[in-house]
Amino acid sequence: MQEITSKQRSRLKSIAANLQPVTQIGKGGITDNLLKTLSDALEAHELIKVTILPASGEEADNLAENVAELLDAVPVAVIGRKAIFYRRSSRKDIEHIAL
């Protein structure tokens, strides 16, 4: 997993401010299906926001760390019950986020 500077983190957070969550993590927790959905979204957009429902039964911070590790992504921030993830896309046909 790559490391990002506080300046890069700040930039990613400002971009993510206008994003809608791509999905929710609820009582089902982290499933293969969820990981595939998130991985596809990261591949397409590089930066995604996810809502972590109270029903997930885990602290939002811990859950975000686990998901980020499984996706080889950077957990940019957890604000309340929203988590922001970043992973550079391997696709050539999209405009990459400049860090």
User: Domain limits of the chain?
Assistant: 6-86
Which CATH architecture is the domain 6-86 placed in?
Answer: 2-Layer Sandwich (3.30)
The predicted structure's pLDDT at residue 2 = 66
**Beta-bridge mates of residue 52:** 25
pLDDT tens, position by position, 44-97: 999 999 999 999 988 999 999 999 999 999 999 999 999 999 999 888 887 778
Number of alpha carbons in the 13 Å side-chain half-sphere of residue 28 = 9
Choose among 80, 83, 79: nearest CA to 67.
Answer: 83
Q: Is 45 exposed, middle or buried (0-12, 13-18, 19+ CB in 10 A)?
A: middle
pTM tops 0.85: yes
Reduced to 3 states (helix: H, G, I; strand: E, B; else coil), residue 25 is strand
